[in-house]
Amino acid sequence: MSERRKLSVLGATGSIGTQALDVVRKYPDAFEIVALTARSSAEKLFGLVREFKPKLAVLEKEPEVIPQDVRFCEWAFGADGLVKAACMDGVQDVLAAVVGIAGLPAALGALDHCERLLLANKEALVTGGALVMEKARRLKKKILPVDSEHSAIFQCLQAAGNNPVSRILLTASGGPFRTWSAGDIERATKAQALGHPTWRMGPKITVDCATMMNKGLEVIEAYWLFGLELDRIEVTVHPQSVVHSMIEFEDGAVLAQMGKPDMRGPISYALGFPGRLPYGGERLSFKERLELSFEAPDTRKFPCLAYAYQAQRQGGGYPVALNGANEAAVEAFLRERIPFGAIARVNGQVLEQYPGTPVRGVEDVYAVDQWARHAAREILDK
């Protein structure tokens, strides 16, 4: 890459954002950071602004003081600020790494302005998949997946040529409660839910991994990204997290993408695509004993995975309702207001209560989201 690519990082202080900036640090001649956003970690953002010198920096709320030495750039606040960071003049790549449906307006905005949307924010596709994909197609913009499973599938697809894919095999670690009894899962604490066996991530997605809602969201994400029917997207539990996902062809041949569980892999693949940027991560060793095991997920213990298939099959606002309920329930769990088992129950109940209102545009999506959060809180307050 001769000229530096102009990159906006939405959610720069988070797990994905921080690791992306680690990769960018290694390639100072490849990227110019034009915008950085964070929700509330002002001090951390000030540090990143000093280092990367963006044109725009965004926080959710205006802080009491903005230090003199970071006032060289423009500052913006709130949801509009986030969209502004996605829509910078001349921006080429937008890394969408905020959490939840809050990232949907920015993802949609980015598609009007950037060349490539580097998408970690899976909830944007779960809630606005039809809108995001339609817009990307219409404007001929690339969406590069950052989620490790989707990056793996995307990498396998580079080798597929024109051969049709008969199945996508999404791998799941199974989370910290894979081997636990249903009763123990019900009473799991916040500390236990946050102790993921193979990946270090932000709190919301870590809880989603423990309920396996994350894998459900990823099934929907794969549906939108790769255009396969839902029946052809299968989840397999693979506790070692070495095979990041697989595709199967019509003749039964299976391609897998493997590596150490390190998000800098899929992040740097998206940043460098179609090239590859070595990021200095540990490599897989095939000299020591390497065991890879696969088993079917247990949807009785982890019903959220089944809810996701159900919601996507029903279509329209159902995935939005499920996602909204889940965002509200996970937030309540992280505040230690509800037991772990309540997350799945609330998700199931809200899905059942959702009357299936028509969803035509983005305003309808936000209305379903608000309805679902409200319905979830009503159930949780009882």
Q: To the nearest whole angstrom, how small is the minimum distance from the Cβ of residue 370 to Mg ion? A: 27
Q: Is residue 99 close enough to count as binding ligand NAD by CB under 6 A?
A: yes
Stretch that binds ligand NAD, among 24-32, 93-101, 236-244, 342-350 (CB under 6 A): 93-101
Among 35, 114, 120, 152, binds ligand NAD (CB under 6 A): 120
* Assigned token pair, 153: 């599938």
Nearest to 96 by CA among 113, 119, 63: 119
Which position's Cβ is nearest Mg ion? Answer: 147
Residue 171: strand pairing partners: 236
Nearest to 120 by CA among 110, 134, 130, 112: 110
* Assigned token pair, 105: 């307006």
Among 7, 16, 212, 255, binds ligand NAD (CB under 6 A): 16
Q: Is residue 17 close enough to count as binding ligand NAD by CB under 6 A?
A: yes
CB-count burial class (<10 Å; 0-12, 13-18, 19+) for 349: middle
Q: Is residue 122 close enough to count as binding ligand NAD by CB under 6 A?
A: yes
Q: Is residue 323 close enough to count as binding ligand NAD by CB under 6 A?
A: no
- CA 171-176-179 angle, to 5 degrees, is 85
x/- binding map, residues 146-165, to Mg ion, per CB under 5 A?
-xxx----------------
| Pairing status of strand 74-77 against strand 93-96 | unpaired
Q: To the nearest whole angstrom, how small is the minimum distance from the Cβ of residue 218 to Mg ion? A: 5
* Assigned token pair, 306: 């089944």
| Pairing status of strand 116-119 against strand 93-96 | parallel
Q: Based on CB atoms, which residue is closest to ligand NAD, 9 or 342? A: 9
Q: To the nearest whole angstrom, how small is the minimum distance from the Cβ of residue 45 to ligand NAD? A: 8
Q: How many CB atoms lie within 10 A of CB 200?
A: 11
Q: Based on CB atoms, which residue is closest to ligand NAD, 38 or 188? A: 38
Q: To the nearest whole angstrom, how small is the minimum distance from the Cβ of residue 147 to ligand NAD? A: 4
- CA 208-358-371 angle, to 5 degrees, is 50
What single string gives the DSSP state of each residue in 106-163? HHHHHHHH-SEEEE--HHHHHHHHHHHHHHHHHTT-EEEE-SHHHHHHHHHHTTTTTP
Stretch that binds ligand NAD, among 28-36, 37-45, 125-133, 233-241 (CB under 6 A): 37-45
* Assigned token pair, 215: 């894998």
Q: Is residue 39 close enough to count as binding ligand NAD by CB under 6 A?
A: yes
Q: Is residue 102 close enough to count as binding ligand NAD by CB under 6 A?
A: yes
Among 30, 98, 220, 304, binds ligand NAD (CB under 6 A): 98
Q: Is residue 32 close enough to count as binding Mg ion by CB under 5 A?
A: no
Among 5, 7, 15, 330, binds ligand NAD (CB under 6 A): 15
x/- binding map, residues 120-149, to Mg ion, per CB under 5 A?
---------------------------xxx
| # residues near ligand NAD by CB under 6 A | 27
Buried/exposed 275-293: b ≥16 CB within 10 Å, e otherwise: eebebeeeeeeeeeeeeee
Binding site for ligand NAD (CB under 6 A): 11-17, 38-39, 41, 60, 82, 97-100, 102, 120-123, 147, 199, 201-202, 205, 263
Binding site for Mg ion (CB under 5 A): 147-149
